[in-house]
Amino acid sequence: MNYSKKQFTVNKITEEGLHFINRIKDIEISILILEQNIFRVLLKKNNELNMKNTWLVAPGMEDIPFEGRDRMDLSPFSLPTFKYEENDNEVSIFTDKLKVLVQLDGFILTWFENRNNHWHEIAGDRKTQSYNHDGSLGNGIFHYMKRDLEDKYYGLGEKTGNLNRHGRRYRMMNLDPMGYDPIHTDPLYKHIPFYFTRTKERSWYGIFYDNTSTSTFDMGNELDNYHGFYRYYHSEGGDLDYYMIQGYQASEVVETFSWLTGQTALFPKWSLGYSGSTMTYTDAENAQEQLYQFLEDCKRYDIPCDSFQLSSGYTSIENKRYVFNWNKSKFPSPKQFTADFHEAGVKLCANIKPALLHDHPKYEELKQGEMFIKDSEGEREEVVQFWDDVGAYLDFTNFDTIKWWKENIKEQLLELGIDSTWNDNNEFELWNSDAKVNGFGTPVNIGAIRPIQPLLMMKASFEAQKDFDSYTRPYLISRSGCPGMQRYAQTWTGDNRTSWDSLKFNIKTGLGLSLSGIYNIGHDVGGFAGRKPEPELFIRWIQNGIFHPRFTIHSWNDDKSVNVPWMYPEIIKPVSELMKFRVKMIPYFYHLMYESHTKYKPIIKPTFYQFPEDEKTFEENDDFMVGDYLLVASVVEKGAQQREVYLPLNQKGWYDFHTEMKYDAGQTIVLPAPYNSTPLMVQAGSIVPINDHEITFENKNEESRGFVCYPHFEVGETSFSLYEDDGLTNEYKNGEKSFVNVTMKCSSKEIHIEVKKKGQFVLPYDTVRVYLTKGETRKIIVNGDRIGTDSDLVFEIQL
């Protein structure tokens, strides 16, 4: 709101920033200078915060306490020196990279970045009624900002439709929308209140609201003649506490946000393999028999499989599901069952749910222990609809609940041989926002903390696995969550519906997660709900799925059929080839997961992320990058026999991965789209690690290493350091890791390749093969030895 006289004044200046006060309203707004490119805006009323702790902000941390972190703890930040200037109605605060101009009448902020020693405006609050700190805009928290019609907005986590969010309104609330429309349905499963902007001047910045109340992001859907073009954030409660992140590229903003919310977990290598799953098997009366048949079929059709997700039917009593209850008529001996799967080299991930039906055998125990979320009076458990009956949700802000949960995971799952927890149906759909959670001794309304419940559920499951076996890395899956879930779990885009639209737009939904700091992601390949996929759609789904970090075929088809690799005999051969290709690429994916863990880099990303100088990459498209090297062009149209692919400008050129043909950048080409391979391009100058062993179901875990080198067309140099460890334990934290360093230097006449190992981890191989592309005629020099040229262009190197 514009005021007739100055309403805010500088109250105090500290080493953290400037603090402004409106004495009439008893409001303090602090601008905290956390890093050169991260400023924080925090509002307090009556010197109080509604939520004193944060669970979302954990800079560079693997873990935080269950109770969260003190919201005012700034110790993880560098708190750089800043400068400020003040005149009668304005205050400027700036570092070397970022500046904010504060208009004291109404407290309106304008943001600038330092570009070539000149300040350029990148963002600003709306000039009319930008905040509701005076209560003028109704209940909750509002923040209105200016909007330019050429702005591009990305992020907001798991959303449907196009990657550019401009023009739509989104609700941020955990929901279970099974069979959702991949273009229009909103909200989905996760609460991620972060987005970033590319301005028409090609500047980048991100805004993150550290608030877990249900909220709305209007990215230009709403128009009002009196206020110009604007966008807004509205939260039903909590605090106005937001972070402005400046970056000169999208990557700087996204990776800073990922760092801000915590370290991506490094899961065991087997988590990257194919994971079989279907609700149909465990819902069946002869569930164990069907699961054993799954193993036999993997062997019969030569499908490498690393794990199986045990859907909730294993917990059934009649036709309902009861967490931590084994149906012994379906699984007479769980220990023998898990041992048999382990014998076949297949891990087991068991589905667990955070609600107990009212007739659950342990319901009264938890009710008496006050471990459920309570009603608005805090007197008894809040009873809600859950699956096919009513029940109550566990309260993970209660240490007694956490203890009970961990004990049951150990006793009912881990001691029986289960390897991993699949944290499912954890959206906490309690629609009485005034229902009370324990809050670790300070009761809080569920409406203020709903997304924290799945986060703490993950953390409790993570700790249970870690406590049970401290030597082996935990691996978890979670459907719902919020920023910080990457510290504990891998995720997927939920219960999608079988359709060509789902294949096409799930790619964008996944990329939206990846642009929001949640990197270890995938989809239910083939579609989870609705009709079964036709053969063509199914194989196109697999072609796409093998290039995501999480690769799972999961279904609950209307006709009770099951999505499995061999469901259509006529395509089993190309399906097997695709599944083996996934195993071949796992060294590359594992390296990318390590870079997510250590460098906060996404595993998959849109082409504009890698090539921001090429304006054409900002057009909506279905392509994506895997790491820095691979450009995936999934086939998403029914009947397509070929695929148009735009090759982004990169000053290097491109290779077809399969034919090794060369192509200049900046053009659109047409690639064949057979069933047995995904259209795939590689940047010139790339070095791609592969599993060079013969791949079958029986030996899928055997390791040989190859490096496929794609030389620069003329002159150039590339270095690549492949990360290696045992892929299973925590010994890498004790130095048990190595790097295989490969350098390729290209001139017009020669290609020099050097391969060396560094580190104390003993590799499972002592030689590597180096492959060069067909048609290469330059002289090859490997580790200083002049080899000349070789018609096969394959060289074996002793490490």
pLDDT of residue 245: 98
Q: What are phi and psi of 383, to 5 degrees?
A: -90, 130
User: How large is the average pLDDT for residues 283-302?
Assistant: 96
Question: Does residue 227 lie in a domain region?
Answer: yes
CB atoms within 10 A of CB 403: 13
CA–CA separation, 235 vs 230, rounded Å? 17
Provide the 3-class DSSP secondary structure of residue 704: coil
Residues in the chain: 799
Per residue in 486-535, pLDDT tens? 999 999 999 999 999 999 999 999 999 999 999 999 999 999 999 999 99
pLDDT of residue 2: 40
pLDDT of residue 3: 38
| Whole-number Cα distances in Å, 230 to 127, 222, 226 | 10, 8, 11
Range of the domain at 127: 9-50+78-261
Per residue in 391-441, pLDDT tens? 999 999 999 999 999 999 999 999 999 999 999 999 999 989 999 999 999
Question: Does residue 194 lie in a domain region?
Answer: yes
Question: Does residue 526 lie in a domain region?
Answer: no
Question: Does residue 197 lie in a domain region?
Answer: yes
* Dihedral of alpha carbons 484, 395, 277, 542, sign: negative
pLDDT of residue 134: 63
Question: Does residue 116 lie in a domain region?
Answer: yes
Question: Does residue 768 lie in a domain region?
Answer: yes
CB atoms within 10 A of CB 789: 12
Closest CA to 281 of 217, 250, 327, 336: 327
Per residue in 65-123, pLDDT tens? 999 999 999 999 999 999 999 998 999 999 999 999 999 999 999 999 999 999 999 99
Question: Does residue 389 lie in a domain region?
Answer: no
- Looking at 229, 244, 261, which one is the last position of a domain? 261
CA–CA separation, 562 vs 51, rounded Å? 46
User: How large is the average pLDDT for residues 259-266?
Assistant: 98
Per residue in 723-778, pLDDT tens? 999 999 999 999 999 999 999 999 999 999 999 999 999 999 999 999 999 989 99
Q: Is the model's pLDDT at 13 over the cut of 90?
A: yes
For residue 789, what pLDDT band results from cuts at 50, 70 and 90?
A: low
Closest CA to 233 of 214, 253, 255: 214
pLDDT of residue 88: 86
Start-to-end CA span in the chain (Å): 68
pLDDT above 90 coverage of the chain, percent: 94
For residue 136, what pLDDT band results from cuts at 50, 70 and 90?
A: low
**Average pLDDT value for the chain:** 96
Per residue in 159-215, pLDDT tens? 999 999 999 999 999 999 999 999 999 999 999 999 999 999 999 999 999 999 999
Displacement of CA 105 from its chain's centroid (Å): 40
How many independent structural domains does the chain possess? Answer: 2
Strand order in the sheet with 785-788: 716-724, 738-746, 750-759, 779-782, 785-788
CB atoms within 10 A of CB 208: 28
User: How large is the average pLDDT for residues 139-168?
Assistant: 97
Structure tokens at 189: 């499963």
- Looking at 205, 230, 261, which one is the last position of a domain? 261
Question: Does residue 754 lie in a domain region?
Answer: yes
Displacement of CA 14 from its chain's centroid (Å): 36
Looking at residue 738, which CATH number applies to its domain? 2.60.40.1180
CB atoms within 10 A of CB 177: 17
CA–CA separation, 590 vs 637, rounded Å? 30
Amino acid letter for position 62: E
Burial 550-573, CB ≥16 within 10 A → b, else e: bbbbbbbbeeeebbbbbbbeebbe
CA–CA separation, 612 vs 201, rounded Å? 12
pLDDT of residue 129: 86
Give 316's DSSP letter.
E
User: How large is the average pLDDT for residues 37-47?
Assistant: 96
Beta bridge mates, 215:
172, 235
- Looking at 226, 261, 296, which one is the last position of a domain? 261
Calculated CA dihedral for residues 400, 401, 402, 403, nearest 10 degrees: 50
User: How large is the average pLDDT for residues 469-482?
Assistant: 98
Per residue in 428-457, pLDDT tens? 999 899 999 999 999 999 999 999 999 999
Looking at residue 252, which CATH number applies to its domain? 2.60.40.1760
CB atoms within 10 A of CB 15: 10
pLDDT of residue 786: 75
CA–CA separation, 597 vs 602, rounded Å? 10
Q: Is the model's pLDDT at 230 over the cut of 70?
A: yes
Amino acid letter for position 628: D
Q: Is the model's pLDDT at 791 over the cut of 60?
A: no
pLDDT of residue 790: 52
Residues 6+ apart with CB under 8 A from 186: 159, 160, 168, 170, 171
| Whole-number Cα distances in Å, 796 to 706, 711, 755, 791, 793 | 9, 18, 11, 14, 10
Q: Is the model's pLDDT at 690 over the cut of 80?
A: yes
Helical axes 572-599 vs 535-545, angle rounded to 10°: 30
